[in-house]
Structure 1
C-alpha cells in the first residue's frame, strides 16, 4: 500500500470523505493536501508516512480492543443488549453519578429500560475498563400535536432588529418582541420567529449579521430594553448600529449603576440565583467580554497569557457583563409569557446559527473541542464557483464525542427552554459538514455522528417540550429527510424554491406534510420583490448577472408567476395585495403542518433583509420595518391574514395517519 493509499484509509477511518458530487453532477476527488488539512483539524498527525501508520494502528487497536463502544443510542423505555467480546462487570450511572443498574455479563450485557436522558455505562473486564455514553432518546422530538390541541398551525417570522417603536432608539428590543407577539397571538398566530439572538460581543461594534455570533449560548445585548427612553427610531429606513450602540450602551451602563445602588432585595437575589444556575459558563463568557473591552473581540490577537480561559482572573467588569445576560434572559422570559398569554400556543420560534466566529467567546471557551485551521462552508456551485467559506468555527466530531456533546447539549437546552420552536440552520450539518482549510487547499466533507446528534436534539427537545425544525435546503442526501422526520424534526420548504423540471413552481398542495412551509425567508425576495424581480435587479446591479442573463432570469420568473397564478387562481386584474393574500391562503391549504408568513410581506415590503453572498453591496440586516409595533394589532392586513390562514388552524385529528406523520411510522 503506497503512502497516499494509507492517507486515504486514515481519512476514511476518521470520517473524511474521499470525494463528493458537485452541483453539476461531476465527481470531485479530495487530493492529499485537503485530506491532510482535515486530519490536522481533528488533531491527527498525517505529516509523515510513519505518523499515518501509527495513527491507523492506534485507531484500529482502540476500536477492536474495547469491551463496549464509546457511545450508544438507545430507545428510552426499551431494553437493549450489547454483545460482549469478554465477560465483564458493569454498572449504569445517571447524570449525577448515581448507580441505577448493575450486573455481570459473559457474552452479552442486557440493559433494563432507561428514561430519556444521558447515562454512563461502565464495563470492567479482566484487563481494562471502558465507558460508554448512553444517549437514551425518546421515540421522537415533540410534534405540534404533542404540544397543542392542533394538528396544524401557522405563525409569522420577522427581524427583531427591524421592529420599530417610539422608545427603542432604532433597533428592536425584547419589549418590542413581547408586544409584537401579543398582537399576532390575538390574531391567531401560533408562533413568531425571529433571527438568531446569539451574543455578538461587546467589542464587535461593526458586526451586523445575526448569523456571525461570538457565542450561541448567550444573548444579544443590543435588544435589551432600557428603562430610560432612547427616543423614537430615526426616520432613516436603514439602521445605523454604531450610532445606536453608542447611546444604548451608555444607557445600559447607567442602568447597571442604578442596580448596584438601588436594586431591591428580590432583584439582587434573582441576579445571584441566575449566576449560580449559569455557573462556570457564564463566568467565562463574562470574563471574555471584559477582556475584549481592552484587547478587542478576537482573542487570537490577545496577549498570550489571556488566550486560554483558565489562565485569566475575574475582573470587576465581569459582574456587569453577567448582569447584561441576566437582563436579557429575564426580558426574553417576559416576552414569551406575553406571547402565551395572548393565545399563542408556542410563542417564540428561535434560530440556532451554524457556528460562531473563530475569534469569539464560544471558541475561546471550547478551544479543545474546535477543529482548528478550517471554516465551515459550502462546495462550489453555480453562484459561487470558488465555493464558500462562512468564516465560522466547527466542532471536531471526535473531540465533541469525547466530551459527551456537552457544548451542544447546553446550547440546545438554553435555546429550547426559551422557545416553543427552534430551527436548526443548515441541519445537513448533523450528518456531514463541508470544511474549508485555511491553508488554501480545496474543501471537503467530513461525516458527523448523525445518530448521536439526532438523539441529543430529541432529548433536549423532549426535556424542554419544544418543537424542532431542520433547515434542510440544498443538496439533500438520500434518506436524510426521512430519518430527520422520523426523529420528530420538521423539514423546511420555501415555496419559491419548489421548482419543477420545466422551470415552473409546483403546487403548494404537493409540499411535504411534515414540514414548515413559507413563501420566502430573510435570504429571499419578499412576495412583492419576487413578483417584480427585485432580486434579479440586485444581482445585475452588483455585477453578478450580465444584461442578457438578467433578461433570461426575468423570463424564468415570468414562468414562475404564471404557475402561481394558476395554482392560486389569481386573476390578471389582481393587485399585489390580492396576490399576497392568495399565496398565503394557498399555503394554508397545503399539507404542510406549519405555515409561516413573513412580517415583511404583511407590511408590503419589497426589499429583502439579506442578499446572500454580499457584505457591503446590499444593506443586509439593516432594513427597518415600515410599521410601528403599536400599530400591528389594528393593522387591516393582519386581520385579513387571520382569515386567509384559517385552513391552517385544524384541530388535532382523532386518528393520525402514518403517511402524514412519519413519527408514527
Structure 2
C-alpha cells in the first residue's frame, strides 16, 4: 500500500469511515481507495487528489474549539462543563434565558427539564455556542408488560367502502377489534408520504418524506365502493379513483366556507409540513424527481413558493386530513382498551428524488445511497436506493430533520419502531459511481438522546429493529436508553442452525415469529421463501435442495422445543408457535394478521422489485369477517392466557407536548 493510500485511510478514519468490516460469514472486507474517496466526497470532504487529501487532513487536525459543538446532559441533574474563562448564558431554543454566569474554571449548569438548549459563551477574544441535549434517563417503558399485539398491512385491509386500499379510519376499526380482544397495540407498515406525483411507487419503505403522511390511506368523505376481490392491489387504478374524489372533496370544502378547524391546524403545524406541501404542488407540474426541475425550483424558497401557488393549500389540506384521521384512529384504539394503540414504523431513509432530500440538501450525503451487505435476509446484499443524512452535517443542523420527523410520528402513536436501528451506529453507503460500499459511523449517543427526548415528550415507547450484523455495544446502548430490542424467532438459531426455544427470547424485546420481510409461519414451514429464492435466480436447484434440507432441521427443532405433533396441520402449527411466543419472557409479543388468517405468501421479498409482488397482497378476510373470526378469537385466547391485560393499570401518559 502506498504512502498516499495510508494518508487517505487516515483521513477516512478521522471522518468516521470504517476501513474494514466483516460480513455475515466473518469474511473481512477492506475499504478500497475508491470507496474511501467516494464516502469522503459524500460527506463534503474533497479527496480526489493527493494534495486535497493532505489539505483536508491538515485542516481537520488543526481545527480546535474552545467549547464542544454539542453536549449531552441528564435532565434534572446539575452538571459541570469544562470551559475557559468566559461569561455564559443558557437559553431554550425559543431564546428564553434559563441560567447565566461567569466561568473561571468551568460552567455549572443547573437542573433543566428534558429538551434542547443553547449555551452561549464569550471570552476575551472568542465566542462559541454549544448545543445542549438534556435527555431523560430512559425512553418510556411499556406500562402493561408482558403484553401482546398484532401487525398487519394497512394497504391490505378489505372493506365494502375503501375501494381497494386500507384507510386510516379502518386502521381505527381494526385496532378497536383487536383492543376488545385484549391486544395492546396494532402495528402497520410505514405511512410516510410516497409523493402525489410518484404514480408507480408502492413500497412504504421508499418514501418521499418520512415526516409527512401517505395520502393513499385518506378516506374521502364519500366511500369509494367495495374492495375488489382480487388478491393483489392495483395501485394505479385505486389512485386514479381516490384522487379524483379527493379533488372533489376539496372543492366542496373550499365552497363550504367552514375552514375553522383547518385554519387552526395550519397555525400550529410545522414549517416542514408546509414546505412539503409546496414540493407536492410543484411535483404535479414538473414531476416527482426534483433533480429534473428548473434550477430555480431545486431548493425551497421564494421561486418554489411562487410556482406552487394556491395548489399548495390542497396538499396542506391532505396532510391535515391524514393527521386528523390518524389521530382519530389512535383515539379509537386507546378507547378500546389498548395501552399503546398504534404502532408505527420509521423507515431507514427517503428516496433521493423526493421531498425530504429537496428540503434538507445541507444535511444529505451526496452521491451515495443506503444499503446492506449480504445477510440472511438477502444473500446478494441490498441496495435500498435511499438517501442518507451525513452525520457531521446533521449534527451541525442540530438534528432538526430527525427531530421533526420523530415528533410528527410520535404524536400519532404509542409505539414506534425504528427500522434498521443499526443505522444509529453506522450506515452502509453504496457510492453511485460503482465503487464497493462501506460503513460510516453515526453519532449514536446524540441520536439516542434525540430519540429519548422526543419519546419522553410524546409518551411513546420505542423499539429498535436490531436484526442482521449487529456491532458490539449497540444493543447495550439501546437498552440503557430504554429502547426495546426486536426478536424474530425464526432467526434465533444456534450454531447448528436449530431454532432455539422461545423462552430464550430477550426479555427487553418485542418478539414475533416473522415480519413483512420474512416468510409467514406457513411459508417458513413449507420453505416457500426458498422456492422464491430459486425463482428469482439467487440460488441453483441444488442449493434449493440443500436449503430445504436445512429447513427440515429447523422444523424438527421447532417441533422439539414447541412439543408439536409430527402430524400437526397448519392451523395447529401456527397456534402452537403463537402459544410458545406468548409464554416467552419478551416484554411484548406480536402476531401477524397474515399468520392468524393462514396466509402463505410474504408481503415482501427483500432485494426484489418486480420479481415478487411486494406490498400488493390483501388480507384474505374483510373487516367485518375479522371482527367475527374464530381464528382471531382463538389467537386472542392463546395470547390472553399468558398475557392478559392488567386491570386498573395506569395508562401510558400521552402528553403530546408538541404539535406537528
TM range (shorter): over 0.9
Structure 1 residue 459: deviation in Å? 0.3
User: Within 5 A, what are the aligned runs for 1:267-282?
Assistant: 268-282=259-273
2:342 aligned residue (328, 348, 352):
348
User: Among 66, 89, 92, which residue is 2:87 paired with?
Assistant: 89
2:479 touches 2:485 (CA, 8 Å); kept in 1? yes
Residues 126-135 or 41-50, more deviating: 41-50
Paired position in structure 1 for 2:60: 59
Give unpaired runs (5+ residues) of structure 2.
Answer: 650-660
Per-residue Cα deviation, 1:332-378 (whole angstroms, up to 9, x for no partner): 01111111111111100000000000010110011111001000111
Q: Distance in 2 between matches of 1:501 and 1:582?
A: 24
Partner-residue secondary structure (3-state), 1:91: strand
Contact 2:21 2:29 in 1 (8 A): yes
1:541 deviation in Å? 2.2
Instruction: Give the conservation status (yes or no) of the 8 Å contact 2:23–2:469.
Output: no
SS, match of residue 369 in structure 1: coil
The answer as to 2:613 corresponding to 1:619 is yes
Residue aligning to 2:33: 32
Spell out, residue by residue over 1:240-261, the C-alpha distance to the aligned partner (whole angstroms, 9 max, x if none): 0001111110000010011011
Q: Where in structure 2 are the equivalents of 1:500-511 lying within 5 Å?
A: 500-511=494-505
Q: Which runs of 5+ in 1 are unaligned?
A: 655-665
Q: Give the Cα–Cα distance (whole angstroms) in 2 for the partners of residues 31 and 618 of structure 1.
A: 34
1:306 maps onto 2:297 in alignment? yes
Tell me the equivalent position of 1:328. 322
Contact between 1:73 and 1:452, CA under 8 Å: does it hold in 2?
yes
Aligned to 1:648: 643
Q: Which residue of 2 aligns with 1:286?
A: 277
Deviations 1:532-556 (A, max 9, x none): 2111122222222222211111111
- Secondary structure at the aligned position of 1:161 is classed as helix
Q: Which range moved further: 456-465 or 104-113?
A: 104-113
CA distance in 2: counterparts of 1:5 and 1:508, whole angstroms: 48
SS of the equivalent of 1:375 reads: strand
Shift of residue 383, structure 1, vs aligned partner: 7.3
In structure 1, the residue matched to 2:654 is none
| 1:370 and 2:376 matched | no
Q: Is the 8 A contact 1:152 1:651 kept in 2?
A: no
- Provide the aligned C-alpha RMSD in A: 1.6
Tell me: CA distance 1:381–1:584, structure 2 relative to 1, closer, same or farther (3 Å): closer
CA deviation profile, 1:79-127 (whole Å, cap 9, x unmatched): 212223x311111111211111111122222211211111111121222
* Equivalent position of 1:660 in the other structure: none
Is 2:198 the counterpart of 1:204?
yes
Q: How does 1:114-129 map onto structure 2 within 5 Å?
A: 114-129=112-127
Q: Given the alignment of the two structures, is residue 472 of structure 1 paired with residue 466 of structure 2, yes or no?
A: yes
Partner residue, 2:658: none
Please give the secondary structure, in 2, of the residue aligned with 1:632.
helix
Residues 124 and 61 of structure 1, relative CA distance in 2, 3 Å threshold = farther
- After TM superposition, what 4+ stretches of structure 1 lie above 3 angstroms from structure 2? 380-387, 649-654
Is 2:41 aligned against 1:21? no
Tell me the SS of whatever aligns to 2:349.
Answer: coil
Aligned CA distance change for structure 1 residues 591 and 652 (closer, same or farther; 3 Å): farther
Q: Cα offset for 1:386?
A: 6.0
Report 1:185-224 matches (<5 A): 185-224=179-218
C-alpha distance in structure 2 between counterparts of 1:381 and 1:332, whole Å: 35
Contact in 2 for aligned 1:275/1:282 (Cα 8 Å): no
Closer/same/farther in 2, CA of residues 528 and 382 from structure 1, 3 Å limit: closer
Match of 2:655 in 1: none
Comparing 380-389 and 187-196, the one that deviates more: 380-389
TM-score, with length taken from structure 2: 0.95
Pairwise CA distance, 1:263: 4.7
Query: If the length of structure 1 is used for normalisation, what is the TM-score?
Result: 0.94
Q: Counterparts of 2:227 and 2:376 in 1: how far apart (Å)?
A: 39
In 2, are the aligned partners of 1:491 and 1:515 still within 8 Å (CA)? yes
